[in-house]
Amino acid sequence: MQKMETQAVVIGGGVTGTSVLRDLAMRGISAVLFERGNICEGTSGHFHGLLHSGARYVVKDPPTAEECILENRILRRIAPDAIEDTGGFFVVLDDSDEEYLPKFLEGCAKVGIPTEVLSASEALREEPKLSPAVRQAVAVPDGSVDSWILCMGNVKSAREYGARVFIYTPVTEILREGDRVIGVKAMDQTSGEEYIVYAQYVINATGPWTHKVARLAGVDVPMVLSKGTMVVLDGRPVKRAINRCRYPSDGDIIVPVGTAIVLGTTSVNIDDPDNFIVEEWEVYKVLDECINMVPVIEDMGIQRYYASVRPLYEPPAEGGEEPEEGREVSRAFYILDHEELDGVSGFITITGGKLTTCRLMAEKTVDLVCAKLGIEAACRTHLEPLPTEP
């Protein structure tokens, strides 16, 4: 059994946890991260690959859209190796897309997302494999992002600033002394070594496992777990990320990733992040919707399909209202100060959000940790590029 002391423990090695670790370390706070599997093994390693411009959320959720465009610009600057600047199109195919278009353009303008409206012939000249039914397309600064490069860049940077990372080492207990969390117990799955780490703050960044880990501290976090399925096809018939110009729905995004395109997604509520499967109807739903945008997809070979789970926080409904479901639950991120919410100090949860907003999520979390610990140190993660060779 090894015993350690540190200022902060981060649980979870996805984009959220590794971003938090980097920010803590850069502000001079000693920190240790525990990941139960490998880095980027959860939702972060099985997402869709889109660096959001925010355009997808401008009508439904303008604050998230604004966070996305600001962070899109920062990530391009600090993590150029993780990003391919594909650009994106929102395509208008039918009357209902045409009805959505003015709201969409107004929403983009309000949060500062630059747009360029193209006629059908201009759109087809740029992307000849689009459906001939295309009526208009709107160009936005979407991109393609590699989550592994991003996570490993965070880890390397955090280590350079003195942080420690343990993989294949799940946190098995969260230690409490009365109403205060004082550390964690973790077990290395390969060596069998046990760790007890005493910390002033424990940060739960476990994505779809948030509620399970919070329970180790005796705290309830209400989550909606929304599974999304993606289909990978060999080849890149389009240069840009192609989105359907409509209220977010199933199968309306195609993202070029490496030598392939990734189609997605669905949204199906599940109970257990450790027990879910891709259903056949999901694969066909995604294919059918994307064929409407890019018909040649019908003739392309499926390389594989996969699914992952959106960690969506559901704040307790007010005044007896029914809780929201799946796509209706906000994509905003939430920092839960369990001292304020549950009377348990020394414990914070960061959950929800997008991969695109991971750096901002970390900044706000570490701001709170600094305030709690009485540390004055400004965030610098937006200024310093990630190391290039993980």
Residues that bind ligand FAD (CB under 6 A): 11-17, 34-37, 41-44, 47-50, 52, 170-171, 205-209, 213, 228, 265, 308-311, 353-356
Structure tokens at 353: 């959000």
Q: Least distance from C-beta 48 to ligand FAD, angstroms?
A: 3
Of 310 and 338, CB closest to ligand FAD: 310
- Residues 38-55 as b/e (b if ≥16 CB within 10 A, e otherwise) read ebbbbbbbebbbbbbbbb
Calpha distance 155→284 (Å, rounded): 37
Nearest CA to 22 out of 150, 146, 145 is that of 150
Q: Least distance from C-beta 130 to ligand FAD, angstroms?
A: 20
Of 153 and 170, CB closest to ligand FAD: 170
Of 34 and 334, CB closest to ligand FAD: 34
Of 247 and 276, CB closest to ligand FAD: 276
Of 35 and 97, CB closest to ligand FAD: 35
Calpha distance 226→248 (Å, rounded): 14
Of 244 and 354, CB closest to ligand FAD: 354
Q: Least distance from C-beta 268 to ligand FAD, angstroms?
A: 10
Calpha distance 79→387 (Å, rounded): 8
Calpha distance 46→42 (Å, rounded): 7
Q: Least distance from C-beta 39 to ligand FAD, angstroms?
A: 7
Nearest CA to 124 out of 358, 377, 294 is that of 294
CA distances from 187 to 35, 169, 190, 208, 325 (A): 10, 5, 9, 21, 35
CB neighbours (10 Å) of residue 234? Answer: 12
Of 40 and 118, CB closest to ligand FAD: 40
Q: Least distance from C-beta 193 to ligand FAD, angstroms?
A: 15
Q: Least distance from C-beta 233 to ligand FAD, angstroms?
A: 16
Of 170 and 346, CB closest to ligand FAD: 170
Cα 101 to chain centroid, rounded: 26
Q: Least distance from C-beta 91 to ligand FAD, angstroms?
A: 17
Calpha distance 39→23 (Å, rounded): 17
| Contact partners, residue 176, CB within 8 Å, separation at least 6 | 182, 217, 218, 344
Q: Least distance from C-beta 251 to ligand FAD, angstroms?
A: 12
